[in-house]
Amino acid sequence: MGQTDEMRSQKDDVPIRDEDVDREFKYEVADHFGGEGLLRCLKCGACSGGCPVAAVTDYRPRKVLGNVLLGLKDLVLSSDDIWMCAACFTCEERCVQEVNFTDVITILRNMAVREGHASKGYLDMARTVLQHGRVVPMTHAVNRMRDKLGLPELQEPDMEELSQIMSSAGFDKILSIYAGRDTTE
C-alpha cells in the first residue's frame, strides 16, 4: 500500500491498448454475489459526488467502475484505488442504477487478495483475529480498568470454533499466499 499521492493516481496519460483489456472481466465481477448491479452502471458519477474520500483526494469511484467496465483487470486489481474506499455506503445509497459499488469493491478486493495485493493493515488485523479471536487482544491493563468500572470479566473467545470456521472457509489458503512475506514493508 502506497501512502503517497503519486502512487494513488492511475496513469491517465497512457492510451488504453487492446492487450491491456480483458473483455470478460466485468462479467467475472458481475457473476459474484453482490456484483450483479455492475452492468447497469451508467457512469453518471453520483458515486464520486458523495464520496468522502473523493472530497480529499483524486480517488473517484466512477473511475474504478469505468476501468472495470473497460476490462482493465490488471490495472484495477493491482491499484491502490480499490483500497481507498472507506465503506460509508453513501454511493450505494445514491446510485440510481443500484450498482452497489461497495459490494463491487468487496469483490475486487477479494480478487486482488488472491493475486497477492491485500492491504497489509487488514491482513495484520486478520492475523490478530486468528490468533486472539478478537481484533484487539485483551490486556491486563484493560481488565483492571473494566474491573474499576464494575464491568464483568470478559469471556475468552471460542478459539476452537473460530479457527475451524476460518479454515473451512478457506482463509488458511489465503494467508498462505502471504506466508513468508515481509509484513513490515
Partner 1 sequence: MRMAIAWGCLVPSRRSLIGYEAATRKVLEHLGVEIVDIPNETCCAPFWMQSLDVTTSLALAARNLAKAEQMGLDLLTPCSGCFHSYKRVNHTMEKYPGMKQRIQEILRSARLRYEGTVDARHLVDFLFTDIGMDEIKSKMVRDLEGIDLGLRYGCHMLKPHELLNIEYSERPIFADQILETLGATSKQYTGRHRCCGGLLRGTDDDLADEVLRDRLLDANAAGVDSLVTVCSLCHIQHDMGQRIIKNKFDIEDLAIPVLHYPQVLALAFGFSPKEIGLQQHTASTSTLVAKLRGEVKEGGGA
Q: Which residues bind partner 1 (CB under 8 A)?
A: 1, 3, 33-34, 52-53, 55-57, 83-84, 86-90, 92-93, 100, 102, 105-107, 109-110, 113, 118-126, 129, 133-139, 141-142, 145-146, 149-152, 154-158, 160-162, 164-166, 168-171, 174
C-beta of 10 vs 106, nearer to partner 1: 106
Cell match 469511484: residue?
Answer: 61
Shortest Cβ 125–partner 1 spacing (Å): 6
C-beta of 22 vs 36, nearer to partner 1: 36
C-beta of 72 vs 104, nearer to partner 1: 104
Shortest Cβ 77–partner 1 spacing (Å): 13
Shortest Cβ 79–partner 1 spacing (Å): 13
Which amino acid would we find at residue 109? R
Cell match 475486487: residue?
Answer: 108
45 contacts 100 by C-beta, under 8 angstroms: no
Cell match 480499490: residue?
Answer: 82
C-beta of 25 vs 92, nearer to partner 1: 92
User: Going by C-beta distance under 8 Å and a sequence separation of 6 or more, which residues neighbour residue 147?
Assistant: 153
Question: For residue 122, which of 83, 177, 158, 176 has the smallest C-alpha distance?
Answer: 83
SS3 for 49? Answer: helix
Helix axes 120-132, 159-168, angle to 10 degrees: 130
Shortest Cβ 5–partner 1 spacing (Å): 9
Shortest Cβ 170–partner 1 spacing (Å): 7
| Cell digits of residue 6 | 503519486
C-beta of 20 vs 120, nearer to partner 1: 120
* Separation of alpha carbons 175 and 62, rounded Å: 31
